[in-house]
Chains A and B, each alone.
Chain A
Amino acid sequence: MKSKVFDDLRGFLSELDRQGQLLRISEEVTAEPDIAAAANAAARLGDTAPALMFDNVAGFIKAQIAVGVHGSWRNHALALGLPMETSMRDQVAEFIRRWETFPVAPERRDDPPWAENSAEGDEIDLFSLLPLFRLNDGDGGFYLDKAPVISRDPEDPDNFGKQNVGIYRMQVKGARRLGLQPVPMHDIALQLTKAEERGEDLPIAIAVGNDPVITMMAGTPLEYDQSEYEMAGALRQSPYPISSAPLTGFDVPWGAEVVLEGVIEGRTRELEGPFGEFTGHYSGGRKMPVVRIDRVSYRTDPIFETLYLGMPWTEIDFLIGPATCVPLYQQLKAEYPEVQAVNAMYTHGLLAIISTKKRYGGFAKAVGVRAMTTPHGLGYVKMAIVVDEDIDPFNLPQVMWALSTKVNPDGDLVQLPKMSVMNLDPSAVPPGISDKLVIDATTPVAPDVRGHYGQAAHDLPETAQWVTRLNAMLADRI
């Protein structure tokens, strides 16, 4: 089945509207605290939450702000062109299936709508271009937190695969000045280091307001030379449209609302933050790189797409959750075909739940430890819960059943001292270092003969047929 494909934010907002998943708020609201509070509230509505579109913000002219575009399982399904009732587990399975069709070559287009308007140098005023606003009380200012940043490898600038598309938090520090947080484990930090070793600035382009798939890809841990555009093509099952940005020549999304171009100023650091992060905690008190914007291009009356994040779950968890499961699943499955599914949706995979068959006693523990040594696991997977193959790791009541009956702390806990973890983890001491824990919640198998598991109950063999039958009867009732 060919799924629906969206080339820009406006196309996807129309689809959300058609499906009843977009709430337009045209009554006047304040930039603060209304917009962040409403977006925070939408996240508390659960798996069916709509996106919100504000078009009447006090003091602004013609401002349009979209939040919560990826903010529920319904919206996430629609972003992938799936029916909106598709379950979380099925969405992740479809994500993996499409991921395996990588790479899909992008489509170059000449006529980007963002070429309609532009400004350069001191004409640039980010405050009048975008209706910026604060999210959380302790934030140091207004942020861009959902805009893919495009950069290239200074030592290999023509390599398309090494051109990076990633989302980094950016604090607005002036009319054409931003602070940017390059997490040391991320690709842009590698590129910045190379530029700074040469005493150069690192050119970048920033795309604000996009089709829903590139934003998912920009938040996904891909390998260094894998192109996010080629992965976006795989995810949408259609070539991803890109255009050349006028100043840098970088490839940027054809459908972006706004394209900012400039440089990360080499060898400059300046106080940044704090900012309430995806960990549900603020991080700040550090000096970070600074961006100078030299050119802006934008659609007429651009829509400012951004996201609220705070105490989880919020939009960012829907945005990065499924994409975090895929590489962990693939890397584990490649070595251990017994692995059935991976749910790494908690805090970008700081906790992962893995279901697996057991080769022999002790095997599940090895799978849990291996998850910690995958590339993403090095900075995340502080806890791995390993469950039997008949437990659905996305079904948390089942996982709790496994934890409550299959775990005896005497023999089922593996604590690894002083491992690496990303430095935003608030429990780490010092930042970047933490013990890690594997919880083996599988049924012991020989030669591990602990416990009394000889008489487990299972669903009746006829149950699956009855599930289908009952669902059909329920559907016919309407």
Chain B
Amino acid sequence: MNTDNQPCPRCPDGTATVATVSPSGNIWTVYMCRVCHFSWRSTEPKRRTESALYPEAFRLTAADMAAAPDVPAVPPLRRNP
């Protein structure tokens, strides 16, 4: 088990911090990326945890993240509720 920060497998510049560790047996760590909010368990198949093997279709670039729309859109504040 590794409790250091990890590079994010999904986004280019993301750093993931430890979200939790296995309650028994030091078996796994769950990491969460501070940039794209991707989370993963250290014992998952490598296609989900390693940058080099992470599926192309699900990678996120900075441009993808910047272009993500608000769903639903935030409505204008009502002046006299």
Measured CB to CB, the residues of A under 8 A from B are: 30-33, 58-61, 125, 127-128, 133-134, 137-138, 140-142, 171-175, 179, 181-182, 184, 189, 192-193, 196-199, 267, 269-272, 274, 282, 285-288
Query: Which residues in window 29-67 of B have CB below 8 A to A?
Result: 30, 32, 36-41, 43-45, 47-48, 55, 57-58, 60, 64-65, 67
B23 near A60 (CB under 8 angstroms)? yes
Given contacts A127-B30, A138-B57, A271-B37, A61 and B23 within 8 Å (CB-CB): yes
Complexed CA–CA distance, A199 and B10 (Å): 34
Chain A's nearest CB lies how many Å from the CB of B43? Answer: 6
B36 near A127 (CB under 8 angstroms)? no
Complexed CA–CA distance, A175 and B68 (Å): 25
Complexed CA–CA distance, A252 and B39 (Å): 30
B72 near A141 (CB under 8 angstroms)? no
Given contacts A128-B20, A175-B19, A285-B64, A58 and B70 within 8 Å (CB-CB): no
Name 13 A/B residue pairs within 8 A (Cβ), A-sorted.
A33-B44, A58-B28, A59-B25, A59-B28, A59-B43, A133-B41, A134-B48, A141-B39, A141-B40, A173-B37, A175-B20, A285-B68, A286-B71
A138 near B55 (CB under 8 angstroms)? yes
3 smallest A-B Cβ distances: which pairs? A59-B22, A59-B27, A127-B20
Complexed CA–CA distance, A172 and B60 (Å): 19
Chain B residues, Cβ within 8 Å of A179: 37
Add 16 more A-B contacts to A127-B19, A199-B81 (CB < 8 A): A30-B43, A31-B43, A32-B44, A58-B28, A59-B22, A59-B23, A59-B24, A59-B25, A137-B47, A141-B37, A171-B37, A173-B37, A184-B71, A193-B75, A269-B70, A288-B71
Tell me the total A-B contact number using a CB cutoff of 8 A: 114
Chain A residues, Cβ within 8 Å of B78: 197-198
Looking across the interface, which residue of chain A has its beta carbon closest to that of B49?
Answer: A32
Looking across the interface, which residue of chain B has its beta carbon closest to that of A181?
Answer: B71
- Contacting residue for A137 out of B55, B64, B74, CB 8 A: B55
Chain A residues, Cβ within 8 Å of B68: 271, 285-287
Chain B's nearest CB lies how many Å from the CB of A464? Answer: 52
B27 near A58 (CB under 8 angstroms)? yes
Complexed CA–CA distance, A65 and B49 (Å): 23
Looking across the interface, which residue of chain B has its beta carbon closest to that of A189?
Answer: B72
Chain B residues, Cβ within 8 Å of A189: 72
Looking across the interface, which residue of chain B has its beta carbon closest to that of A125?
Answer: B20
Chain A residues, Cβ within 8 Å of B20: 125, 127-128, 175
- Contacting residue for A286 out of B70, B74, B76, B81, CB 8 A: B70
Complexed CA–CA distance, A461 and B18 (Å): 71
Complexed CA–CA distance, A128 and B22 (Å): 9
A58 near B43 (CB under 8 angstroms)? yes
Looking across the interface, which residue of chain B has its beta carbon closest to that of A197?
Answer: B78
Chain A's nearest CB lies how many Å from the CB of B36? Answer: 6
Chain B residues, Cβ within 8 Å of A282: 58
A137 near B48 (CB under 8 angstroms)? yes
Looking across the interface, which residue of chain B has its beta carbon closest to that of A193?
Answer: B75
Complexed CA–CA distance, A193 and B77 (Å): 10
B39 near A172 (CB under 8 angstroms)? yes
A197 near B40 (CB under 8 angstroms)? no
Looking across the interface, which residue of chain A has its beta carbon closest to that of B22?
Answer: A59
Chain A residues, Cβ within 8 Å of B28: 31, 58-59
B32 near A173 (CB under 8 angstroms)? yes
Chain B residues, Cβ within 8 Å of A31: 28, 41, 43
Chain B's nearest CB lies how many Å from the CB of A289? Answer: 8
Chain A residues, Cβ within 8 Å of B38: 140-141
Given contacts A128-B23, A269-B74, A140 and B43 within 8 Å (CB-CB): no
Chain A's nearest CB lies how many Å from the CB of B81? Answer: 4
Chain A residues, Cβ within 8 Å of B40: 134, 141
Complexed CA–CA distance, A269 and B74 (Å): 8
Complexed CA–CA distance, A61 and B69 (Å): 40
Chain A's nearest CB lies how many Å from the CB of B54? Answer: 9
Chain B residues, Cβ within 8 Å of A127: 19-20, 30
Complexed CA–CA distance, A198 and B78 (Å): 6
Complexed CA–CA distance, A139 and B71 (Å): 18
Chain B residues, Cβ within 8 Å of A133: 41
A32 near B37 (CB under 8 angstroms)? no
Q: Which has the most chain A C-beta neighbours within 10 Å: B38, B69, B71, B77?
A: B71
A142 near B39 (CB under 8 angstroms)? yes
Looking across the interface, which residue of chain B has its beta carbon closest to that of A126?
Answer: B20
Chain A's nearest CB lies how many Å from the CB of B18? Answer: 11
A272 near B30 (CB under 8 angstroms)? no
Complexed CA–CA distance, A60 and B24 (Å): 6
Complexed CA–CA distance, A184 and B67 (Å): 19
Looking across the interface, which residue of chain B has its beta carbon closest to that of A289?
Answer: B72
